[in-house]
Structure 1
Amino acid sequence: MKDKAVSNKTPNGCFSYFVDTYLGNNAPKPRYQVNSRTITNYYNKYVKDIENDAGEPKIELKDLIAEYLGYKNYADFVGTDKKKKICLMCIAKYKRSVIITLVPMLIISAFLYLNYETDNCIIWKENHFENTPCTDENALENSVYHIDIERFKKVTLMKGMEFFTDGKPNYWYGSNAKGEREFFTARGVHPETLRELKPITEHILEKEGFSIVE
């Protein structure tokens, strides 16, 4: 909606511009076979939380949307959103006295960060999270997600499981990077996409082939 080229400042207007103009034949980007209705369904499902049959957007479409927003690709968007980088060259515009103060502070902060180990960081291992140093690649700061790693496990639903207790769900679900639905034993985020998991419903269980009998 901040794009001055978009005249219709509504979700549908933005989606139509993105599909018909930005991804059009005259645009510098490769045309991708998608219509504004498809993106509307993604918007309703993942932004407005309205359940529909929209699957997971293909990585090609994610890359094109990320490029439109000013990123190199979808991976760059995710990485930039998770970690904010400091431009040391920008410090040059400050006075010499400020630089003398800031540089040692930055060096000390970097040293402490690189040597910082804490149980607040976790990493995904096959079907569960484990504590890990925050300096490990792919480590997540659990102070952000608040995942109970003692309870959080990926599971395969089977008949005989107690899906609900007193009407409250015992399992949560989310889609992996391939768009496949997966199930977990506690609330949290999907370890691949970092999207917030949703509690199971009878509707989701029916889609998985389970019949709920009162």
Structure 2
Amino acid sequence: MKKELFTAVFEKAKNQTGKHKPNSLSKHLSWVFTEDLKLPTSSITFVRYYKKYIEDDQTISFNPKTDLLNKASEYIGYESYEDFVMDKKILEEDSSQTTVISIDRIKEFEKNEGNLKSKLSIWIKNNHQIIIINTTILVMVSVLISSGIVTKRNVRWMKWHEDHYVEVEFEGSTYEREILVPYSEDLIENFKKIKNPNCETQYFTDTGKAITWYYKKGQGNLEIFTAPGSHPTNGKSLKIMTHHIIHKYLCDSY
């Protein structure tokens, strides 16, 4: 797991600096860890980790301490090294998820950094799915309506309302304020957000199969859904529920 962690750390450093040489990246990380993360760490230390974990130099026996692993995890958007390891294991267990550290996770964390211009750029990257979906739908509807193939009345739409999808009529003013998506009976019937999940909530079937998925927003704040797919308001992929997540965030006696 340490190799994956430091791969992500140096990848983020490359994105922040635009540089690729180990010495330049290590100097940047030394400054960030010392000034921002309040853990003084020399650039020489990061050079060693680059050689060991990125270049696979087997002659280096130097190992990172727990406090550095925690700060490195925090740097790429996790609460701790334990959180990083568990999230990595969850991704590996779920065949529908990639085993590579999500660049979107890094970008999401980076939206709190930089000046206003960089924040806007990161926001667009993080929300490109929603922007593309909205733009595509608007263009398609405009073309179809202008060509007379369909009218506003015979196109079915739905939107997210608090904890479930509801069917709505297409209105220009509504479209500008909210995200409308093509109607799906399956999502209408099966995709719900569970209110106030706790120890009594059924997260698995009697045979142990997960029937809930989650989205983690902030520290310890989870949103639980009854079907897989994407988050209805930000487009992020939902993760399949695990016993570890329930015990850590929802029910400590689970």
TM-score range, shorter chain: 0.5 to 0.7
Deviation at residue 139 of structure 1 after TM alignment: 0.3
2:164 aligned to 105, 128, 131, which one? Answer: 128
Judged with a 3 Å threshold, the aligned counterparts in structure 2 of structure 1 residues 131 and 205 are, in CA distance, closer, same or farther, namely same
Higher helix share: 2
Pairwise CA distance, 1:163: 1.9
Residue in 2 that maps onto 1:210 = 251
SS in 2 for 1:19: helix
1:166-177 aligned within 5 A = 166-176=207-217
Aligned to 1:183: 224
Match of 2:198 in 1: 158
CA 73–60 in structure 1, closer or farther in 2 if over 3 Å, else same: farther
Whole-angstrom CA distance in 2 between matches of 1:198 and 1:76: 18
| Alpha-carbon RMSD | 4.8
After TM superposition, the structure 1 = structure 2 runs for residues 1-214 of structure 1, keeping only pairs within 5 Å, are: 15-21=12-18, 38-39=75-76, 48-49=98-99, 57=109, 59-61=111-113, 64=118, 67=121, 73-74=124-125, 77-82=128-133, 83-84=135-136, 109=146, 112=149, 115=152, 117-119=154-156, 121-134=157-170, 136-137=174-175, 138-142=179-183, 147-155=186-194, 156-165=196-205, 166-176=207-217, 180-211=221-252
Amino acid at match of 2:165: F
Whether the aligned pair in 2 keeps the contact of 1:164 and 1:170 (CA below 8 Å) is yes
1:134-188 deviation per Cα after TM superposition (whole angstroms, max 9, x unaligned): 5551101356xx8532232212212222221111112211135899421112223
Secondary structure at 1:169's aligned position in 2?
coil
Amino acid at match of 1:181: L
Whole-angstrom distance in 1 between the partners of 2:13 and 2:131: 27
Q: Deviations over 1:36-63 (max 9, x none)?
A: 9734979x969845689x7952644597
Percent of matched pairs sharing the same residue: 21
Q: Is the CA contact 1:16–1:36 (under 8 Å) kept in the aligned structure 2? A: no
Distance across 2 between alignment mates of 1:61 and 1:77:
19
Distance in 1 (CA, whole Å) between partners of 2:220 and 2:163 is: 17
Contact 1:128 1:149 in 2 (8 A): yes
8 Å Cα contact 2:220/2:249 also seen in 1? no
Alpha-carbon distance between aligned partners in 2 of 1:126 and 1:181, rounded to the nearest angstrom: 15
> C-alpha separation between the residues in 1 aligned to 2:137 and 2:167?
25
| Residue correspondences, number | 171
Q: Match for 1:188: what amino acid?
A: G
Where structure 2 has 5 or more consecutive residues not aligned to the other structure, the ranges are: 1-6, 25-31, 38-70, 79-83, 92-96
Instruction: Give the structure-2-normalised TM-score.
Output: 0.48
Contact 1:172 1:200 in 2 (8 A): yes
Question: What letter matches 2:182 in structure 1?
Answer: E
